[in-house]
Every structure is written in C-alpha cells, then in structure tokens.
Amino acid sequence: MAVKIIESCVNCFACEPVCPSKAIYEAKPHFKVNPNKCTECEGDFPVYQCASICPIEGAILNAQGEAVNPPGSLTGIPPEKMAEAMAELQSH
Ligand code: SF4
Ligand code: SF4
C-alpha cells in the first residue's frame, strides 16, 4: 500500500527528506511516490510523515484515493467558506 502525490503539489521539497523509506523523489511536473518503496510509514511513525509536513491540502492521497489532508484541514477554513471567498474575489 502506498500514498500518492498529485498535481496540486507545489514542489516545495518538504516531504522528500522526512520519508523513512526514501520513497519520494523529484519528478516532472511534481514530486512523486515510488509505490514499491512507500510503506505508509508503518513501523516507523504513527502518521504519514509526508502528509504531516505537506502544506498543500489534498496534494497527498492515501491508498484509498482520499486526501490525507482534506480541504479545510490545514487552513481551518471550511471548504464552502473558501469557495464563497474565491467567488467573491473573482467577481471583482
Ligand atoms: S507515507 Fe511514509 S513511507 Fe510513504 S511516502 Fe509518505 S513518508 Fe514515505
Ligand atoms: S510537501 Fe506536499 S507540496 Fe511539498 S513537495 Fe511534498 S507533496 Fe509536494
């Protein structure tokens, strides 16, 4: 089982050094996880080290394809409030 980094990754380099399995590598257009190396941190840490440091909500998916840090989990802004704010900004 492995996590996956998706296109919303901003290539900040934060996750690469904290992975105990050296499963994360720089690639184009964004960092990726080698599924053969990712152990989901099992036996090393109680939580995914990559997701615990990643600043971008939704950039890392678990093996079930769900965001480890879902919208609102890092900013504390409920997703519907964020959508309203973005719509407001774009209307100007
Ligand atoms: S879940 Fe753990 S082992 Fe897998 S890529 Fe993230 S830090 Fe590495
Ligand atoms: S910490 Fe998140 S945004 Fe930064 S490189 Fe890793 S996956 Fe991408």
What's 26's domain CATH number? 3.30.70.20
Residue 49, both tokens: 């080290």
56 lines ligand 2 (CB under 6 A): yes
User: What's at 13, amino acid-wise?
Assistant: F
- The pLDDT of residue 92: 80
Beta bridge partners of 4: 61
* Residue whose CB lies within 8 A of the most ligand 2 atoms, among 26, 50, 56, for a mutation test: 56
pLDDT per position as a tens digit, 31-80: 999 999 999 999 999 999 999 999 999 999 999 999 999 999 999 999 99
Instruction: Kindly give, in sequence order, each residue whose CB lies less than 8 Å from that of residue 45, ignoring residues fewer than 6 positions away.
Output: 20
Q: How far apart are the first and last CA of the chain?
A: 45
Instruction: Kindly give, in sequence order, each residue whose CB lies less than 8 Å from that of residue 24, ignoring residues fewer than 6 positions away.
Output: 5, 15, 16, 31, 32, 33, 34, 50
27 lines ligand 2 (CB under 6 A): no
Structural domain boundaries enclosing 55: 1-92
The total of structural domains in the chain comes to 1
